[in-house]
Amino acid sequence: MDNTYKVTTNSDAETIELAENLESEKFPNMVICLNGDLGSGKTVFTKGFAGAMGIDEITSPTFNIIKEYVGELPLYHMDVYRTNGEVDSLGLDEYFNKNGVTIIEWAEMIEDYLPKERLDISFTIVGENKRVIKITPHGEKYQSMCEAVL
């Protein structure tokens, strides 16, 4: 059974801190799926996670779909918004099994392609800087990770 954890952040710094806490429990082939409206904190979260992995330069992959970074583990940052769910040609399974961390923005658009075991994180804007972040682990490793840091 999956539990959903709810975290409220009041600034980008708090969103980044949440990402850093989750990063401290990272493992190879980890998949994090981010959902939420434009400006809700998906890229802020990704930058925080990447920063904790020793990766400084994160840009939104909007025009690239997939960007690869090298840190403590490889980081595959995907933005599937412009794919309209057409991702057959991207070889997603390959990325999910390359011993890195995959972070997917707008993941709900490709739900059928996502691995069963993953971490779903949804961002809701509730004020100028306030966000409600719901974290749903799917699978034992992700459940343990959430228990460790949330």
In terms of phi and psi (left: phi > 0; alpha: psi -120 to 50; beta: otherwise), the region of 99 is left
pLDDT for res 59:
73
Residues 9-17, mean pLDDT to the nearest whole number: 97
Per-residue pLDDT reduced to its tens digit, 39-96: 999 999 999 999 999 998 887 666 678 999 999 999 999 999 989 888 988 899 999 9
pLDDT for res 61:
60
Classify strands 30-36 and 5-9 as parallel, antiparallel or unpaired.
Answer: unpaired
Q: Please give the share of the chain, as a percent, with pLDDT higher than 90.
A: 84
Burial class (CB in 10 A: 0-12, 13-18, 19+), 127: exposed
How high is the mean pLDDT of the chain?
Answer: 93
Domains of the chain: 5-149 (3.40.50.300)
